[in-house]
């Protein structure tokens, strides 16, 4: 499909801005493992504090990169599958809001005035520019979503008896989840955090703010993940040389994510005494329920890949796997997606630990937690972003992939690094190793009274894995920017490798309309979060003053 110059430039900018910032994010990821392994026994390097770097790493990689990519990929999928480009004014407004907001938040973080680790997590307090900037980034993504929704409604009026393309269903489900979950954090920012940050209020209801944050915080994971799921269903079988085993299974999975992605955030608050046991039990069960669409996906994609391998001559219970095109340069995207799926198997299994109240208490606030979420965020999410960003840049510029052999190696190198890194962190977490902490100052500093020698091996594994991940990221930057700087050899276009369905499937209206799912979604969220919000409002103490991550005393204390 040919694309207008305008849309091409919008998508390329939405890819380049986060990838440029990603150089900072990956650098600080490496610095984190160096600090934590005890290689550095100080609080800062090159005038960048440890917690400042931790914030930059988390916000750039988990918020900025993922949001920009989701919008860019959404523009491409809507235009390609519906044959209608997003509106110029809406896409430009969306881009301007996201870029402006990102620059505001970046300025606050780089100046050391927003070292808050989590984006909106009091009592750590950031500069107002950080909160306002991240809010603008989110609102910019809303604008794109509203524009796509209008395009979809108009398309549907003209194609009433035609199945909506699966990629479009996935995109709209993803941004519906995103829009609903960010409403809570918008309230937190505008009503609680910004007045507190500006000094208009002296304290904040930490429990309410955290509950609103986690209403957004865990649904955010699925906002990261669903673009990868769209690629798994609509592209991976084609890249493997086969067909999608069931498109209906994909529709069911996407709509189940719509139901269960949001009302499970309280499982991040199992350690909060203000939240009642009944609320925790309910949301624990709902967290297990959200594993259902992932299991559906696992079986559907596995069947699709096996079918593709059999078409290539594969036979046997497991030997068919080796017929898949793991290192073929012409379908390099397969390597990125299949490695993401492999990592997600381990990420999903370790995630079930966090869903269990008793098991979560064992690993709560230990390094097991970042070990788990790097298997998901740095697994299918990050690899899908890396692979698709190279694919889109190549297609939209009409340029061939730079160093194609290296490009096929990157996802495998990254996967090895993530497995080693996460193993080290989870092993250390089971031995009580804390998360977020600069252990080079204390626990892994032989000169400190707090030195713990039994965390040396696990942290060194984390360092080794982090080093391999950094090397893979460096190679990615070479391929990404090298591709962009090559001479053009073809016309700019978007041509996704679309998977056909193996079986002829009739249109089922229930799985081709949003209205009933939105009604059920609203009901489940209301029933799950009304008691949680009530607990947060009623079972809380005095409002908390702001803190810094490096100091256990409040920044401002009220006189008795």
Among candidate residues 309, 299, 226, 307, the one with its CA nearest the CA of residue 260? 226
CB 140 within 8 A of CB 95: yes
Residue 555 CA to residue 373 CA, distance in Å, equals 31
Predicted confidence at residue 25, as pLDDT, reads 94
Average pLDDT, the chain: 93
Give the model's confidence band at 137: pLDDT under 50 very low, under 70 low, under 90 confident, else very high: very high
Indicate whether 551 pLDDT > 80.
no
Give the C-alpha separation, 494 to 77, whole Å.
Answer: 9
Q: Which residue has the tokens 């918020």?
A: 63
Q: Which of 154-158, 161-165, 553-557 has the lowest mean pLDDT?
A: 553-557
Cis omega before residue 333 (within 30°)?
no
Instruction: Give residues with Cβ within 8 angstroms of 177, minimum separation 6.
Output: 219, 222, 223, 226, 257, 258, 261, 262
pLDDT band at 409 (very low <50, low <70, confident <90, very high): very high
Q: Minimal CA–CA distance to 411: which of 344, 298, 327? A: 327
Phi and psi at residue 112, to the nearest 5°: 80, 15
Is the Cβ–Cβ distance between 35 and 438 less than 8 Å? yes
Which residue has 């870029």 as its token pair? 99
| φ, ψ for residue 241, nearest 5 deg | 95, 20
If you average pLDDT over residues 341-352, what whole number do you get?
Answer: 91
Among candidate residues 216, 3, 47, 253, the one with its CA nearest the CA of residue 120: 216
How many CA atoms are closer than 13 Å to the CA of 248, on its beta-carbon side? 9
CA dihedral 303, 308, 314, 320 (to 10 degrees): -40
The answer to the question of residue 21 being in a domain is: no
Q: What is the pLDDT of residue 559?
A: 45
Instruction: Tell me the CATH number at 467.
Output: 1.20.210.10
> Cβ atoms within 10 A of the Cβ of 554, count?
15
Q: What is the mean pLDDT of residues 464-488?
A: 97
pLDDT confidence bin for 533, thresholds 50/70/90? very high
Residue 364 in domain:
yes
Determine contact, residues 144/75, Cβ cutoff 8 Å: yes
Residue 440 domain-assigned (yes or no): yes
In a domain, 59, yes or no: no
Q: Are 433 and 458 in contact (CB under 8 A)?
A: yes
Beta bridge partners of 48: 45
C-alpha to C-alpha distance for 512 and 110, rounded to whole angstroms: 46
Q: Is the pLDDT of residue 207 over 80?
A: yes
On whether residue 81 sits in a domain, the answer given is no
The confidence score (pLDDT) of residue 78 equals: 97
pLDDT score for 473 = 97
Residue 176 pLDDT more than 80? Answer: yes
> In the predicted model, what is the mean pLDDT of residues 119-125?
85
Q: What would the pLDDT profile of 42-90 be if each residue is shown by its tens digit?
A: 999 988 899 999 999 999 999 999 999 999 999 999 999 999 999 999 9
**Structural domain boundaries enclosing 359:** 325-495
Cβ contact 255:517 at 8 Å: yes
CA dihedral angle for residue 8, residue 224, residue 371, residue 303, rounded to 10 degrees: -100
pLDDT at 556 over 70: no
pLDDT category at 560 given cuts 50, 70, 90 is very low
Domain contains 315? no
**pLDDT, tens digit (0-9, with 9 covering 90-100), for 238-281:** 999 999 999 999 999 999 999 999 999 888 888 888 898 899 88
- Asked whether residue 484 is domain-assigned, the answer is yes
Helices 206-217, 515-538: crossing angle, 10 deg rounding: 160
**3-class state of residue 302 by DSSP:** helix
Q: Which two tokens stand for residue 288?
A: 């297990």
Catalytic residue set: 218, 222, 372-374, 435-436
The number of domains in the chain is 1
Domain assignment present for residue 179? The answer is no
d(CA 418, CA 343): 8
Token pair 């098991």 in the structure block, residue = 359
Looking at residue 96, what is its pLDDT? 98
């Amino acid at each position: 499909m040919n694309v207008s110059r305008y849309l091409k430039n919008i998508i390329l900018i939405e890819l380049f801005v986060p990838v440029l910032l990603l150089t900072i994010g990956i650098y600080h990821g490496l610095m984190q493992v160096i600090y934590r392994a005890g290689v550095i026994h100080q609080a800062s390097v090159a005038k960048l504090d440890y917690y400042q770097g931790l914030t930059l790493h988390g916000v750039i990689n988990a918020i900025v990169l993922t949001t920009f990519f989701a919008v860019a990929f959404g523009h491409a999928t809507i235009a390609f599958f519906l044959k209608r480009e997003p509106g110029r004014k809406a896409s430009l407004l969306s881009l301007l809001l996201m870029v402006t907001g990102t620059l505001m938040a970046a300025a606050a973080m780089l100046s050391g005035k927003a070292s808050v680790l989590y984006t909106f997590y009091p009592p750590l307090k950031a500069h107002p520019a950080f909160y306002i900037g991240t809010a603008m980034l989110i609102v910019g993504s809303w604008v794109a979503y509203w524009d796509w929704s209008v395009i979809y409604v108009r398309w549907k009026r003209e194609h009433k008896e035609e199945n909506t393309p699966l990629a479009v269903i996935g995109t709209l489900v993803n941004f519906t989840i995103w829009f609903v979950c960010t409403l809570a954090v918008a309230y937190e920012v505008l009503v609680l955090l910004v007045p507190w940050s500006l000094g208009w209020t002296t304290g904040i209801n930490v429990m309410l703010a955290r509950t609103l944050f986690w209403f957004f915080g865990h649904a955010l994971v699925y906002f990261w993940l669903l673009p990868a799921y769209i690629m798994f269903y609509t592209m991976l079988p084609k890249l493997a040389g086969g067909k999608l085993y069931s498109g209906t299974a994909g529709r069911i999975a996407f709509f189940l994510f719509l139901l269960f992605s949001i009302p499970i955030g309280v499982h991040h608050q199992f350690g909060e005494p203000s939240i009642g046991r009944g609320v925790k039990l309910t949301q624990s069960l709902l967290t297990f329920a959200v594993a259902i669409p992932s299991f559906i996906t696992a079986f559907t994609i596995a069947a699709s890949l096996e079918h593709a391998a059999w078409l290539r001559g594969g036979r046997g219970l497991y030997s068919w796997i080796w017929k898949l095109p793991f290192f073929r340069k012409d379908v390099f995207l397969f390597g990125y997606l299949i490695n993401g799926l492999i990592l997600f198997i381990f990420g999903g299994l370790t995630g079930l630990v966090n869903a269990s109240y008793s098991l979560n208490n064992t690993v709560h606030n230990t390094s097991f937690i970042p070990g788990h979420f790097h298997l998901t965020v740095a697994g299918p999410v990050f690899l899908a972003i890396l692979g698709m960003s190279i694919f889109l840049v190549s297609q939209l510029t009409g340029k061939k992939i730079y160093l194609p052999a290296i490009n096929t190696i990157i996802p495998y190198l990254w996967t090895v690094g993530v497995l080693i890194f996460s193993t080290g962190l989870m092993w250390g977490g089971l031995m009580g190793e804390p998360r977020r902490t600069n252990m080079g100052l204390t626990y892994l500093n032989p000169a400190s009274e707090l030195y713990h020698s039994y965390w040396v091996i696990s942290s060194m594994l984390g360092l080794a894995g982090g080093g391999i991940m950094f090397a893979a990221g460096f190679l990615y930057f070479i391929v990404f920017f090298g591709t962009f700087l090559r001479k053009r050899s073809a016309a700019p276009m978007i041509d996704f490798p679309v998977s056909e369905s193996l079986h002829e499937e009739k249109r089922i209206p229930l799985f081709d309309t949003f209205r009933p799912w939105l009604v059920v979604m609203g009901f489940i969220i209301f029933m799950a979060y009304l008691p949680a919000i009530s607990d947060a409002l009623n079972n809380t103490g005095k409002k908390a003053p702001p803190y810094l991550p490096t100091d256990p005393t409040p920044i401002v204390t009220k006189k008795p």
